[in-house]
């Protein structure tokens, strides 16, 4: 996202990447290389072979129209007025799980834009012209009415912190904010926020939370194409931390991390953004947290798309696990940059539940094949995605919740 384009919405926002008619605005568009979905090497600039499977909806449907390349080309035709927005087009555009693999692979995205940005811009275009699709309407209204994608009213939010004795920003101050994320208001997404708070307390860190006043970071608004809602939420969240003099935001969810990093690029703002795993790794390195109890287990770690490809955080979770005596960490075949998506992002669980289910099942099958007894995650979105499976191949747990047993 470029700061000069902040007020543009939809395909106008990315027109430079859609071969705009104005020559001065042109940039390199899709060159049809196929790197974002083909089973060949990662891309011509990579030394590594990359993963065989790349784009989840393409692997699920196996139709060309479900490739990132096709999304780019279809959006281009809409931009030039050659095609209308059809139900078939929407089906394809909303099957993107926002896994960011195409961004990682596309060789022409040298300036922060890529096939995924075009997909998001196309969603913005659809929202502007027709409003949200039916499957995403509850999320849209939840954000508009309650600043929460699950439509949880302010009076019912923040229950995850009950009984922990944490300081609230409304009646206390500190330079560090623990941002729990909207998933902490759901049963499947609470454990990460609770564990992070306990670890920070254990290290005697001074921090505050927002509790009931916490509003969505805007992840759903950004990824589902509700650009106006995203801009509104980002302004509120930035004003909150600026007014309170917050210098560091520690987030409990990998997807919130991606959005808070976007906030941090806003001109004139200055604060540090870290995920809980990065923060805990720092506390361990400083000797303020020590794992003394051995844990006789074999575990594997699932890299969340947004924390991994979105923010480049791969080492911190692995270093934390290696600091635990007797714990064995085994890797899945597709890990780090090439980790397979759990299917939980991009509004796909709502718009295409079969695809979301297939992604999560395939990921846990792979986790089982690694020989691990347990899968660890650092994202509440992934946690929810796996928790939705009726018969998961392996049990799963939030990484920070898991490591608490070694203190
Ligand atoms: S973000 Fe992921 S799912 Fe979406 S088009 Fe790119 S590779 Fe496919
Ligand atoms: S979107 Fe990028 S990686 Fe995919 S075909 Fe086009 S240029 Fe190649």
Which ligand approaches the C-alpha of residue 348 most closely? 1
122 CB near ligand 1 (under 6 Å) = no
How many residues are present in the chain? 407
Tell whether domain 136-283 is in CATH 1.10.260: no
Closest Cα to atom 7 of ligand 1: 55
Which ligand approaches the C-alpha of residue 105 most closely? 2
The answer to pTM > 0.75 is: yes
Q: Which residues line ligand 2 (CB under 6 A)?
A: 30-36, 68-69, 72, 105-106, 108, 115
- Summarised one tens digit per residue, pLDDT across range 2-30 is 444 458 999 999 888 887 777 777 777 88
DSSP state of 232: H
The helix or strand, by DSSP H or E, that contains position 130, with its residue range, turns out to be helix 115-130
> Which residues belong to CATH 3.40.50.1860 in the chain?
288-406
pLDDT at 340: 97
Pocket test for ligand 1, best of 37, 69, 99 (most atoms within 8 A of CB): 99
Q: Do 335 and 303 form a contact (C-beta atoms < 8 A)? A: yes
In whole angstroms, give the CA distance from residue 31 to residue 245: 46
Q: Is 134 a residue whose pLDDT tops 80?
A: yes
96 CB near ligand 1 (under 6 Å) = yes
Determine the 3-state secondary structure of 62 from DSSP: coil
CATH topology of domain 288-406: Rossmann fold (3.40.50)
- Summarised one tens digit per residue, pLDDT across range 85-133 is 999 999 999 999 999 999 998 877 666 688 999 999 999 999 999 999 9
Contacts of 395 by beta carbon, 8 Å cutoff, 6+ apart: 373, 374, 375
Closest Cα to atom 8 of ligand 2: 33
Mean pLDDT of 195-221: 97
Which ligand approaches the C-alpha of residue 339 most closely? 1
Average predicted confidence (pLDDT) for the chain: 93
Count of CB atoms situated within 10 Å of the CB of 81? 7
DSSP state of 275: E
Closest Cα to atom 8 of ligand 1: 55
């Amino acid at each position: 996202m470029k700061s000069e384009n902040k007020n543009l919405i939809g395909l106008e926002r990315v027109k430079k990447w859609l071969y705009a008619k104005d020559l001065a605005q042109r940039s390199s568009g899709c060159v049809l290389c196929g790197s974002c979905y083909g089973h060949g090497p990662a891309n011509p600039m990579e030394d590594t072979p990359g993963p065989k499977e790349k784009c989840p909806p393409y692997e699920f449907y196996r139709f060309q129209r479900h490739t990132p390349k096709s999304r780019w080309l279809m959006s281009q035709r809409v931009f030039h007025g050659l095609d209308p927005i059809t139900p078939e087009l929407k089906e394809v555009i909303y099957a993107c799980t926002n896994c960011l693999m195409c961004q990682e692979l596309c060789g022409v995205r040298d300036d922060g834009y890529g096939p995924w940005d075009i997909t998001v811009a196309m969603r913005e275009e659809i929202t502007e012209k027709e409003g949200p699709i039916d499957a995403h309407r509850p999320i849209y209204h939840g954000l508009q009415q309650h600043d929460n994608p699950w439509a949880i009213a302010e009076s019912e939010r923040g229950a995850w912190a009950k009984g922990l004795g944490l300081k609230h920003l409304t009646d206390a101050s500190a330079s560090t904010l623990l941002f729990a994320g909207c998933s902490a208001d759901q049963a499947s997404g609470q454990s990460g926020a609770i564990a992070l708070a306990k670890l920070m307390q254990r290290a005697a860190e001074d921090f505050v939370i927002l509790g009931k006043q916490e509003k969505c970071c805007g992840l759903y608004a950004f990824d589902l194409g509700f650009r106006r809602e995203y801009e509104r939420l980002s302004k509120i969240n930035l004003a909150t931390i600026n007014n309170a003099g917050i210098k560091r935001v520690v987030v409990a969810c990998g997807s919130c991390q991606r959005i808070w990093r976007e906030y941090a690029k806003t001109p004139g703002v200055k604060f540090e953004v870290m995920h809980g795993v990065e923060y805990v790794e720092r506390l361990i390195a400083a000797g303020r947290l020590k794992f003394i109890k051995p844990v006789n287990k074999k575990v594997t770690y699932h890299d969340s798309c947004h924390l991994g490809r979105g923010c480049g955080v791969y080492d911190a979770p692995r270093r934390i696990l290696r600091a635990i005596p007797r714990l064995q960490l085994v890797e899945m075949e597709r890990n780090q940059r090439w980790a397979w998506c759990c299917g939980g992002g991009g509004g796909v669980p709502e718009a295409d539940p079969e695809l979301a289910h297939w992604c999560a099942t395939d990921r846990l099958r792979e986790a089982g094949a690694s020989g691990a007894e347990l899968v660890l995650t650092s994202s509440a979105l992934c946690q929810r995605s796996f928790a939705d499976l009726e018969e998961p191949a392996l049990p799963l747990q939030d990484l920070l919740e898991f490591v608490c047993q070694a203190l």
